[in-house]
Amino acid sequence: MHWIILPVVLPAMVAPLIGFVMRWDITLARSASVATTILLVGISIGLAVMASGGETFLYKLGNWPAPFGIVLVLDRLSALMVLLTTVLALIVLIHAIATGWDNRGRHFHALFQFQLMGICGAFLTGDVFNLFVFFEVLLIASYGLMIHSGGKDRMRAGLQYVVMNLAGSTLFLFALGTLYASTGTLNIADLAERIPQIPPEEAALVRVAAILLMIVFAVKAALFPVQFWLPATYANAPAPVAALFAIMTKVGAYAILRVHTTAFGPGIPGTEGLAGTWLFPAAIVTIAIGAIGVLGARRLMPLIGFSVVGSMGTLLVAVAAFSPTATSAALYYMVHSTFAAACLFLIADLVVSRRSADRLIPEPATVQNGLFAALFFAAAIAMAGMPPLSGFLGKLLVLDAMREPGVMGWAWSAILIGSLLTILGFARAGSTLFWKSTAMTPEADNSGLEDVAPPNHATALQVAPSMLALAVLAALAAFAGPVSAYLEDTSAQLFDRDGYVAAVLEQPEEG
């Protein structure tokens, strides 16, 4: 049963090795990093198979029983998130190596592995304070990755990102202190057992803690009104890092799902309906901000950043319903939007690295214009939610889950109008980048900047990661039936609070 801790321990052991032993040898660091990530994919597939039976597995650190020691909990949801992380990490890592991004600064691979450790740990832990610690691990690695290879704009955007998240961490601690003072525990299962016993008129402090925690997770998930850091960060981060950050917003969404469903969720007198009431309008505004941002962006990277904001809004609209149907729709959309956003960033990197900047202005067509245009088109329709890729099905599932009167009108109009604006924004960007560029005569080139770099063709390895991400999206659409059946089981398990509490707290002693 030690498999559960491997996604945390393996990168934690490899990262210092890469950082200290292999720091001068990029080839060695690359092979170690790729080998570890492939191993992690294998382990997480194993964990997903293990969890698919519906059992909740427990890993007691130091073999201390649950409410006293820290536990890692593996159920379908955490197995799914770990699998999503490792597959995405492998795709991003191949891209970073093929395009040479990892060699433009120091310690890319060490930080990358620490980042994986933090993300996997955050998905696996069953303790809110431990969640805070893993948040800090993934954040401190992300600070390093964010400013990887340096530069004026990147350093300044990185500083903003760090300050934002440090303030968020402080708020997280305030929330945890309030929660501990009012319940006397920080174990999620123990919280789920104790909070229902608090009568509603005495639950004011618990409600404060629940809302504080939601604000903290909303900062990670880029929810209105704390979404403003995301476009600047994603636009200035190195493109492969921005693609990896596609999972970071999902950490926030996962934490809301896990904590606010299990500990403060439906059926608990003190906190019932609290999270959904605030989450829903905020998510609607987030969709609007994302769509307007996509339409108004003048550079390609912020445009994709705003489309990520919009997709987080759609995701959190479904999360805010806190019902099993809506949650399984949210999970499908979460898997989809992670790969769609990552894919867009990787393709944008291929395009932007062959242009003078990422401004959306016509420039002479680059080599392989057709190939990049086709890739961008495919990823853009996935992100905007058009058939045949999984974005369409994801949005359809979310819309289908939002049928309650009073919710339906807002959710449907926000998602549908938001999608339309996103399509318009991407269509404008794509036609400027690829069509107007082909219409330009080569003579116009002389008026602009001198063409310094000779035309460099994208190698097969450089295009492969984006293709792979698109293939995942296509597979997600093709196998939507089995996938959504699995996700329905996942959300049923998430809403089975008693089962979770029993599995964590009443585990029989075993050697």
Partner 1 sequence: MEIIVASSVGILTAGGVYLILRLRTFPVILGLALLSYAVNVFLFASGRLAIDQSPILSKYGEATYTDPLPQALVLTAIVISFGMTAVLVMIGLGAFLEADSDKIDIEAEDDSKEVQP
Minimum distance from residue 184 beta carbon to partner 1 (Å): 8
Report residue 72: phi and psi, to 5°: -105, 135
List Cα–Cα distances, 249 to 295, 383, 503, in angstroms.
21, 15, 28
- The mark string for 247-286 relative to partner 1 (x by CB under 8 A, - otherwise) is ----------------------------------------
Q: What share of the chain is helix, strand, coil (3-state, %, to 5)?
A: 75, 5, 20
Interface residue with partner 1 among 35, 38, 170, 403 (CB under 8 A) is 170
> Where in 214-253 is the site for partner 1 (CB under 8 A)?
232
Nearest approach, Cβ of 166 to partner 1 (angstroms)? 5
Tell the smallest beta-carbon distance from residue 228 to partner 1 (Å). 11
- Only segment of 92-100, 170-178, 410-418, 489-497 that touches partner 1 (CB under 8 A): 170-178
- Based on CB atoms, which residue is closest to partner 1, 174 or 278? 174
Query: Which of positions 150-169 make contact with partner 1 (CB under 8 A)?
Result: 150-153, 155-160, 162-163, 166-167, 169
The residue within the footprint of partner 1, chosen from 22, 58, 110, 147 (CB under 8 A), is 147
Q: Which of 181, 204, 449, 475 binds partner 1 (CB under 8 A)?
A: 181
Nearer to partner 1, 48 or 433 (CB): 433
Q: Which stretch binds partner 1 (CB under 8 A): 98-106, 177-185, 328-336, 493-501?
A: 177-185
Residue 182 C-beta: closest distance to partner 1, Å: 9
Q: Which structure tokens are listed for 493?
A: 């398990």
Which CB atom, from 136 or from 488, has the smaller least distance to partner 1? 136
**Using CB under 8 A, which of 56, 178, 261, 323 touches partner 1?**
178
108, 32 contact by CB (below 8 A): no
Interaction of residue 61 with partner 1, rule CB under 8 A: no
Residue type for 123, please? Answer: F
> β-pairing, 71-74 with 57-60?
antiparallel
Per-residue DSSP letters for 426-488? HHHHHIIIIIHHHHS-GGGGGGS----SPP-PPPHHHHHHHHHHHHHHHHHHHTHHHHHHHHH
For partner 1, the closer of residues 157 and 253 by Cβ is 157
126/146 Cα distance (integer angstroms): 28
Which of 469, 355, 384 is closest to 84 using CA atoms? 469
Q: Which is nearer to partner 1, 37 or 178 (CB)?
A: 178
What gap in Å lies between CA 55 and CA 493, rounded to an integer? 9
CB under 8 Å to 406, separation ≥6 — which residues?
none
Residues 318-377 within binding reach of partner 1 (CB under 8 A) = 359, 361-362
Residue from 17, 19, 174, 427 binding partner 1 (CB under 8 A): 174
Would you count residue 136 as binding partner 1 (CB under 8 A)?
yes
Query: Alpha-carbon distance 193 to 406, whole Å?
Result: 32
Using CB under 8 A, which residues numbered 284 to 323 contact partner 1?
298-299
Rounded to whole angstroms, what are the CA distances from 158 to 104, 141, 164, 234, 484?
17, 12, 10, 10, 37
CB of 177 to partner 1, least distance (A): 4
Q: Total binding residues for partner 1 by CB under 8 A?
A: 37
Question: What does the per-residue mask of binding to partner 1 show for 183-212, with x meaning CB under 8 A?
Answer: ---x--------------------------
Q: At what angle do helices 480-495 and 460-478 cross, to 10 degrees?
A: 70
**DSSP-assigned beta bridge partners for residue 72:** 59, 125
174 CB-contact burial (10 Å; exposed 0-12 / middle 13-18 / buried 19+):
middle
The pattern of x and - marking residues 411 through 450 that bind partner 1 according to CB under 8 A reads -------------------------------------x--
The answer to whether 133 contacts partner 1 (rule: CB under 8 A) is yes
Shortest Cβ 85–partner 1 spacing (Å): 22
Residue with smaller CB distance to partner 1, 178 or 286: 178
300: Cβ contacts below 8 Å, ≥ 6 apart: 348, 351, 352, 358, 359, 360, 429, 433
The closest of 107, 88, 99 to 145, measured between CA atoms, is 107
Q: Which residues bind partner 1 (CB under 8 A)?
A: 129, 133, 136, 140, 143, 147, 150-153, 155-160, 162-163, 166-167, 169-170, 173-174, 176-178, 180-181, 186, 232, 298-299, 359, 361-362, 448
